Structure 1
Amino acid sequence: MSARGKARSRALDILFEAEQRGAAPSDVIQRRLEKTEQQINPYTEEIVAGVVSKQSQIDEIISTYARGWTLDRMPAVDRIILRIGTWELLYNDDVPDGVAVSEAVALARTMSTDDSPNFVNGLLGTLQTLKPTLLA
């Protein structure tokens, strides 16, 4: 797994833990730095900060285009993978669109259910197609 792939996976862990504990993701990062020898990749912190700063826009976009699924109904892991993928796709110009989608699908394949990769791919593929209008 690439360094950025590991950073995405770590960001997923942090965002998931924060959501489950009702904590701020920055507090989860700080606690990990203080209580473990774990190193936090700068790209992990960039993803977490990006998702947090754009979460209301990201959630609105996901809710609009996830036909038949509300955010609350989605498995938590899928919801967070979609947030990361949407942030990379729409708000991080350093990541090519296709890479953002394929990396999110890879996370879903390893971290979620058998149906999740297709769901993530379909939704992010739609967002990729609509990107120019979503950012207008």
Structure 2
Amino acid sequence: MKQPGTRHKARRRAVDLLFEAEAKKVSPAQLVAERREYVRSDESVGSIHDYTATVINGLADDQNQIDAVISSYLREWTLERLPAVDRAIMRLATWELFNSLDVDTIVVVDEAVELAKELSTDDSPAFVNGVLAKIAELAPQVRAAASAEPRPSGDAE
């Protein structure tokens, strides 16, 4: 069996943190910041990989839009009715599809399906794959639009 890579572990930790934040009704970005501070005094907590933090912080900024996109592709389901772990996996993957320019869309979908196999129900991998395959079709347009947006210059106007 192939050993999971660093990015896979970072994604899995991101899903764990998203799940925990939702259960505790706290911001996932706040949870990451607290863990990064806490690990300084207690290494048993485990450090937060930079990619995990990047994904969590990006998702925290874009969660309403991400949730709207996911919801628009759900048939006979609502986002709230999905298992919490499936929501976390799809939020993570959708954010990556739209923002991680260094990761192919097929890799993002495959990783999400693997996480669903590891963490969720027997039906989840196929469900996650179906929803994300549709969202992946949007990824090139979203990435192109994001790269065409003017970047803030930092100058006050």
TM-score of the alignment, normalized to the shorter chain, above 0.5: yes
Q: Which TM-score applies when normalising by structure 1? A: 0.93
Deviations 1:54-92 (A, max 9, x none): 111110000001111101100000001000010111122
- Provide closer, same or farther for how the CA distance between residues 132 and 43 of structure 1 changes in structure 2, counting only shifts above 3 A: closer
Q: Which TM-score applies when normalising by structure 2? A: 0.81
Give the CA deviation at 1:134: 5.4
2, 8, 11: which one aligns with 2:5: 2
Report the equivalent of 1:60.
68
- Taking only aligned residues, the RMSD between alpha carbons, in angstroms, comes to 1.5
CA distance in 2, matches of 1:131, 1:43: 20
Report the equivalent of 1:104.
112
Report 1:1-136 matches (<5 A). 1-33=4-36, 34=38, 36-37=42-43, 38-132=46-140
In structure 2, the gaps of 5 or more residues are: 146-157
CA distance in 2, matches of 1:5, 1:82: 15
User: Which structure has the larger Rg?
Assistant: 2
- Provide closer, same or farther for how the CA distance between residues 125 and 76 of structure 1 changes in structure 2, counting only shifts above 3 A: same
In structure 1, the gaps of 5 or more residues are: none
Give the CA deviation at 1:51: 1.1
